[in-house]
Amino acid sequence: MSQPKNSKEQSSETSFEWIPALLLLAVTVFLVYPILAIGFLFREPITRALRLEKRAERYVHSAGGIKLLKGLVICMYAGAIYALFVIAPSKDVWIERFIWTLGAICTAASGTFAYNIIHWIGELSEDPDIRRHAAGNEAEAYVKSTIDALSAVYPEARALHGTLLVFDSALPQQGEYSIEIDHLFVTRHNCYLIETKYRNATVHAATAAPQWRTTAQGGSEGAMRNALSQVKNSARVLEQALSLPYKLVPIVAIHGEHTQIVDGPANVVRSDRLPNIIAAFEQVENSKTLDPTALVNSLNPFVRTGEDAMGKHIERANQAKQRAEAKAVVNATSR
């Protein structure tokens, strides 16, 4: 028959049972809450450093993915608490107990920080600007895949996608100028400059209108910039900068599940109709004989990459937009 435990043994066992509770309190008070506080205080620099806006674009249409990641982090945190309460106290060797305890604390702290990051990504994925940017990327990816598929039809063709070109002006007071190409597709007979847009709506693409009216499925009205004027301006810049003896073919490809084009010219098309318009030009406008590789290579000296170059391009574009808006106000003034 087992002997009853004396008071000293009971006291020792009681004090040992308090260790996991005290460690849990330490995790909660000294790790979890400070990490949450640090997250709220330094959210902006952390977001920039980890480029969370880019990561959020992947979850614009995947709220379930965010919930799954949060669930995994919660399971990780629960596992850390289990290790802290059950596994660590069961170890007889103090070094093993210490390692399990330290590992559980670090895992709980990491889980708290990870939960913060995932929660911020979920919030950013609901931001209208990020959702628009993600939709634009989706449209560009679709058109790129369409152009890649056309390489089987036009094996000598060459293409550029998402390229920033910067040119030096011959006028010192003007300085450098730049254009951003969504897609450039060069065949043996034509050079197509393609501007890609995302609009899941009916687009009234009047050629001369400064803005195009859009009508969503629910009936809500909106507007978008005249993308045909935009791509025509880019085409003129390329023709002049490269001294091309022929004109580029400007095309606007609008992507969206319910996209419809009305009141527009033939070179403003749904993205899935892009192969048709290229096929039409290849069958009719075939008097030119181009060297696609040479033309694409001639652009290499003007290609710029990096955030600094893009930032300058955006600044120039914003200045041009402000000048255009000011000119429109002046022209609309009654004198």
R_g over Cα of the chain: 30
Q: What is the pLDDT along the chain (335 residues), one digit of tens a residue?
A: 445 555 444 444 444 455 556 656 665 566 666 666 666 677 788 778 778 887 877 777 777 888 888 889 888 888 887 887 788 878 888 888 888 888 887 887 788 788 888 888 888 888 888 888 888 888 999 999 999 999 889 999 999 999 999 888 654 556 778 889 999 999 999 999 999 999 888 999 988 888 899 988 877 888 888 999 999 999 998 998 888 888 899 999 999 888 999 988 999 999 999 999 999 999 886 667 899 999 999 999 889 888 888 888 888 878 777 777 777 677 777 66
Asked if 161 and 132 touch (Cβ cutoff 8 Å), the reply is no
pLDDT on residue 271: 93
What's the CA gap between 26 and 22, in Å, rounded?
6
- Torsion-angle region of residue 321: left (phi > 0), alpha (psi -120 to 50) or beta? alpha
What's the CA gap between 293 and 280, in Å, rounded?
22
> Under DSSP, is residue 104 helix (H, G, I), strand (E, B) or coil?
helix
What's the CA gap between 224 and 204, in Å, rounded?
10
pLDDT on residue 65: 84
pLDDT on residue 53: 82
Q: Which ranges constitute the DSSP H helices of 125-224?
A: 128-150
> Under DSSP, is residue 85 helix (H, G, I), strand (E, B) or coil?
helix
pLDDT on residue 31: 60
What's the CA gap between 310 and 306, in Å, rounded?
7
pLDDT on residue 147: 95
pLDDT on residue 32: 64
Q: Where in the chain is the domain with CATH 3.40.1350?
A: 134-304
Residues 6+ apart with CB under 8 A from 192: 183, 184, 185, 186, 248, 249, 251, 278, 281
> In which residue are the tokens 């001639």 written?
298
What's the CA gap between 178 and 238, in Å, rounded?
10
CATH topology of domain 134-304: Trna Endonuclease; Chain: A, domain 1 (3.40.1350)
Q: Of 257, 256, 252, 282, which is closest to residue 269 (Cα–Cα)?
A: 252
DSSP state letters, 5-68: PPHHHHHHHHHHHHHHHHHHHHHIIIIIHHHHHHHHHTHHHHHHHTTHHHHHHTTTT-HHHHHH
Side-chain-side CA neighbours of 48 within 13 Å: the count stands at 3
Q: Of 132, 172, 149, which is closest to residue 278 (Cα–Cα)?
A: 149
Asked if 269 and 254 touch (Cβ cutoff 8 Å), the reply is yes
The answer to whether the predicted template modeling score (pTM) of the entire model surpasses 0.85 is no
pLDDT on residue 8: 46
Beta strand pairing call for 211-215 and 191-198: unpaired
pLDDT on residue 280: 92
Q: How many H helices and E strands in the chain? A: 12, 10
Q: What six digits make up the tokens of 54?
A: 């880019």
Q: What six digits make up the tokens of 171?
A: 């006028």
